Amino acid sequence: MSTAPSASLPASGTTAPNSDTTKLEHSNQKLQDLGSNKSDTQQVNWESELQLVSSLAKLQELERKVHELRQFLPEGLLEPLVPEKPAPDSPAQLRNDLEQATRARLAGIESFQSLWRGTEMKPVWNHVESRIKESNGDLIQPTGMWEKDYDVLLKELIKTGKTEEEKVEKEEEQIERSKAQASDGEWQVVVERFTQRDMPGMRVVKGQDPFSLSAILAKAGMIFSIKGIQEPGIPGVCEWQVSSQSPPGRSPSKLQHAIQDCLNLRTRKWDLEFLLDMVSSYADIKQTTCVTCNRLTDNSAQLPTIRRIQSTQLSQSDTRRFAFDALHPSCA
């Protein structure tokens, strides 16, 4: 390897990724999480800073590997012969050592090739080639040094993106919250809308006290009291609290207490619709399997009492529903 890598190397043939590609795969996974990485050239957005930085990070990693490869000859192959090392016991041992050194170095070359020709690099090479064509080969001359560490830059960019997303989410929630707290009667609208949906296995009854209701899970044999807590000077409810109810002379089961705890640990504590959807996810508790282990009971015979929000569909406010995944406490 005496020449610098050329973009005209055929970008074909893929090999299964190995441990050497982990770093790149990791950053690529993050990109996929953000939904901005496409292996198809047509779909790659080259205007995206994230795309450019991640591509540069890949190129930088390849270059780092090129420098590693340069050590293969003669140092790498002849490593067993360096005088500092203890002399091998026999010629057969030396032969064995040399063979192993060669295999290890060849594996390194193969790993580099599969990375270079892999599907992840293909759109990058295509882009480089199209830019060379566009400019008739008249390109900015590199200084021969990477002025930035693109792997670090990529991590920062992903982090900033996440923070930005969280900020938008928080703002949206604030708007929703204000809407829900627009008037003292808003919660009754939510209850009526929920009743109209006629959720199987669950009934909601308004209570005697203001801001109070009961959720009855007939199949599960449980009743939960729900009470709205107000903040002075603010209409509506700032938090809905859940407690277990049981027929006279009986105390709520351990299972019901576990559910109550999970309900009270939820997010969006001001959101009655969220809470009712969450309560309804327990209607079939004795038949609901855990999303992690796919079993009804875990090793300590516990049902999946934990609920994790699956998705929020906030588009049509009238039909908005929250879906939940069921999990065992030991699987969460």
Residues at the site binding Zn ion, with contacts judged by CB under 5 A: 290, 292-293, 328, 331
Pick 65 or 328: Cβ nearer Zn ion: 328
Question: Does residue 56 sit in helix, strand or coil?
Answer: helix
Least distance between Zn ion and beta carbon 229 (Å):
33
Q: Which residues of 219-243 are buried (b: 16+ CB within 10 A; e: fewer)?
A: ebebbbbbbbeeeeeeebbeebebe
Least distance between Zn ion and beta carbon 302 (Å):
9
Pick 123 or 304: Cβ nearer Zn ion: 304
For residues 290 and 201, give the distance between their C-alpha atoms in angstroms, rounded to a whole number. Answer: 19
Residue appearing with tokens 């089961």: 253
Least distance between Zn ion and beta carbon 331 (Å):
3
Phi and psi, residue 228, nearest 5°: -90, 130
Least distance between Zn ion and beta carbon 284 (Å):
16
Pick 183 or 310: Cβ nearer Zn ion: 310
Pick 66 or 331: Cβ nearer Zn ion: 331
Q: Are 322 and 274 in contact (CB under 8 A)?
A: yes
Least distance between Zn ion and beta carbon 304 (Å):
6
CB under 8 Å to 180, separation ≥6 — which residues? 186, 187, 190, 236, 237, 270, 271, 272
Pick 216 or 258: Cβ nearer Zn ion: 258
Pick 117 or 328: Cβ nearer Zn ion: 328
Residue appearing with tokens 């044999």: 221
Mark out the alpha helices in the chain (DSSP H runs): 22-33, 49-70, 91-117, 122-134, 150-180, 186-197, 254-264, 272-280
Least distance between Zn ion and beta carbon 255 (Å):
15
Pick 293 or 309: Cβ nearer Zn ion: 293
Token readout for 42 is 């047509």
For residues 50 and 161, give the distance between their C-alpha atoms in angstroms, rounded to a whole number. Answer: 9
**Residue 150: is it exposed, middle or buried by C-beta count within 10 angstroms (0-12/13-18/19+)?**
buried
Least distance between Zn ion and beta carbon 305 (Å):
11
